[in-house]
Amino acid sequence: MCNQNHCLSKQLARQPQFTTFVLEDLSGIRAKRRGKKLNKWLSSWTFRQFEMFLGYKAEALGKRVVFVDPRYTSQKCNRCGHTAKANRCKARFHCKACGFKAHADTNAAMNIRDNYILSCAFGSQGQGTVNCPYVSEIASRDKPLGLR
Ligand SMILES: [Zn+2]
């Protein structure tokens, strides 16, 4: 029998509509803005194991797992770009500038996806900035990488 992480990562890696998995690179931050519970989960071995499993299962299928800069993903409005702490209240995202409403995780996930797309569009120049986040692959997470 496989454990939960094996099953989940396998299922996710096999989804035919996904060829690239974009995750937040949380290795370098101590995020006060996240709840204690979430921080604990993200730094737990279970979560690291999940990332690792997803990484090698995806690679075995010729897919990629990439990591993007996690800054501001939960504060930034995916519709208008307005970034403020006040946009987020627990699980709810409500943009103070344009009125966009979404589940906070959905808004953050769209920002993570867009960060990756942006970083592809801009290439390796200027990586590491908010407008053009760096992307690193699972095997070399410590150093930024020029995109193919
Ligand atoms: Zn907005």
- 101 falls within a domain: yes
Q: Give the 3-state secondary structure of residue 67.
A: strand
Q: Find where tokens 């770009």 sit.
A: 81
- 105 falls within a domain: yes
pLDDT digits (tens, 9 = 90+) for 67-109: 888 889 999 999 999 999 999 999 999 999 999 999 999 999 9
Taking the whole predicted model, whether its pTM rises above 0.85 is answered as no
- 28 falls within a domain: yes
Instruction: Quote the pLDDT of residue 93.
Output: 97
Stretch 114-135: mean pLDDT: 63
Q: Tell me how far the alpha carbon of residue 101 lies from the centroid of ligand 1, in angstroms.
A: 8
Note whether 134 and 128 are within 8 A (CB).
yes
For the chain, give the mean pLDDT.
80
Q: Which residues, by Cβ under 5 Å, contact ligand 1, an ion? A: 77, 79-80, 82, 95, 97-98, 100
For the chain, give the number of residues.
Answer: 148
Q: Tell me how far the alpha carbon of residue 86 lies from the centroid of ligand 1, in angstroms.
A: 12
Instruction: Quote the pLDDT of residue 124.
Output: 54
Q: Tell me how far the alpha carbon of residue 80 lies from the centroid of ligand 1, in angstroms.
A: 4
- 86 falls within a domain: yes
- 146 falls within a domain: no
- 25 falls within a domain: yes
Q: Tell me how far the alpha carbon of residue 132 lies from the centroid of ligand 1, in angstroms.
A: 19
pLDDT higher than threshold 50 for residue 132: no
- 126 falls within a domain: yes
Range of the domain at 76: 4-139
Q: What single letter denotes the amino acid at residue 53? A: F
- 18 falls within a domain: yes
Burial class, 91, CB count within 10 angstroms (exposed 0-12 / middle 13-18 / buried 19+): exposed
Q: Tell me how far the alpha carbon of residue 97 lies from the centroid of ligand 1, in angstroms.
A: 5
Alpha-carbon span 126 to 87, nearest angstrom: 27
Domains held by the chain: number: 1
With cut-offs at 50, 70 and 90, classify the pLDDT of residue 147.
very low
Q: Which of 31, 41, 125 lies closest to 72, judged by CA? A: 31
Instruction: Quote the pLDDT of residue 28.
Output: 61
pLDDT digits (tens, 9 = 90+) for 7-35: 999 999 999 999 999 988 876 655 555 66
